[in-house]
Amino acid sequence: MNELIEFISSNLQITYIIILATFVGIEVIKSIPAVLHTPLMSGANALSGVVIVGAILVMLHSDPTDYVALALGFIAVVLGVLNVVGGFAVTDRMLEMFKKKK
């Protein structure tokens, strides 16, 4: 608990950002048609690939001799990109069906 309070006081604005972002997330999604569930899930999944940014940072900051870090970072990047690119691509294909025929 104290940790939490401490965290809040030290990153007050972060906290606001988190809360607001949460609201945005909720408001934006609520009440969507069921057919969109899967595409949306897939899209969100692609978004969750932002970790890639972290992975890249890891590599940028790790020094070229620290092979472990590099290796892990490398894998992390590969996986992350997979998630991102694959995710968006699949989502796009799922959404094919919504092209108006007329």
d(CA 76, CA 70): 10
Instruction: Tell me how far, at minimum, the Cβ of 14 lies from a copy of itself, in Å.
Output: 7
Specify the DSSP class assigned to residue 11.
T
- Least separation in angstroms between CB 28 and a copy of itself: 6
Binding mask 13-32 for a copy of itself (x = CB under 8 A): xx-xx--xx-xx--xx----
Q: Is 67 in the site for another protein (CB under 8 A)?
A: no
Minimal distance, residue 8 CB to another protein, in Å: 7
List the one residue out of 29, 27, 85, 81 whose CA is nearest residue 54: 81
